[in-house]
Amino acid sequence: MDFLRRYLASPPAVIGLVLLALVLAMAASADLLFPRDPLGLAGRPLQWPLANPRFWLGTDNMGRDIAAQVFHGARISLLIALVSTALAIVIGVVVGAVAGFYGGIVDDVLMRVTEAFQILPNFLLLLVLVAVFGSTLTTVTIAIGIVSWPASARLTRAEFLSLRNRDFVAACRGLGMGDARLIFAEILPNALPPVIVYAGVIMAVAILLESALAFLSLSDPNVPSWGNLIGAGRSVLRTQWYVSAIPGVAILVTVLAVSLVGQGLNDALNPRLRRR
């Protein structure tokens, strides 16, 4: 309760929560409000927003309803962001936990690999992965997860380094507990909070990565994605700039919501750091 009160006391965090609820509502109501295929032909192409009451956000250059694509796009963006963030956290936590728990040569090797991933520009690595494995929804999601894990590995490792010599770990060892149980059932729950809070940052970046990929039409072309729509609107940018402008606002709002909520959680969990 104390945590909730602290969270709600911060205006940016509340704004973030409201915006996130808005995006979630868009994703949830997409099928209800726009039951037809959002990528199907809906009407005359390039109708301005509000010009036709049937398409209140207008139609794009292929005659598709922009509002329908924005609503359905919320689903795809959130789906990709959630799954790839979960993947990044799982990989990062396992690598960081093993490295921090065992130390020594295991730590050295795993941290070198983590460094390798940090040195490679993550968008370039994403391009390589997409070039090799193709760009379907599944491969793009996994690829984003693969390029995003190093930070959570470093966080988990740091936590494990400080936790592994505590008394409770020694006590568990005295009870004859195996390494796997010690790592995942005893130490990990204590190490997890900062990692979970950091998930907000990973998720915000994941949404931006996916939209950039889709903008370059290197993401799955068969799903309604905000980035795809912005890319499609590029060819009519000179006159019908709204085709690219509208989905961009959707991305901005979603990334803003995710980062504000992440920041709010962080502040509420670490009240001492609040003033910064």
Give the footprint of other proteins on this chain (CB under 8 A): 112-113, 115-116, 118-133, 204, 208, 211-212, 215-216, 218, 227, 230, 234, 237-238, 241, 244-245, 248, 251-253, 255-256, 259-260, 275-276
Q: Which is nearer to other proteins, 90 or 252 (CB)?
A: 252
Give me the least distance between CB of 127 and other proteins, in Å please. 5
- Helical spans, DSSP H, in the chain: 2-8, 11-33, 66-102, 104-119, 122-133, 137-148, 150-163, 167-174, 179-181, 188-215, 226-233, 242-269
In the complex, the smallest distance separating the C-beta of residue 254 from other proteins, rounded to whole angstroms, is 8
- Closest distance between other proteins and the C-beta of residue 124, in Å? 5
Please compute Rg for the chain using Cα positions.
Answer: 22
Q: Which is nearer to other proteins, 9 or 252 (CB)?
A: 252
- CA-to-CA dists, residue 234 to 43, 60, 65, 230, angstroms: 20, 11, 17, 6
Residue 183 has which token pair? 């790592």
| Least Å from the CB of residue 241 to other proteins | 5
Nearer to other proteins, 11 or 178 (CB): 11
Cβ proximity to other proteins: between 272 and 276 the closer is: 276
Q: Which amino acid is at 70?
A: V
**Minimum gap (Å) between residue 8 Cβ and other proteins:** 19
Cβ proximity to other proteins, 145 vs 227, nearer residue:
227
d(CA 61, CA 270): 49
Reduce the DSSP state of residue 94 to 3 states and report it.
Answer: helix
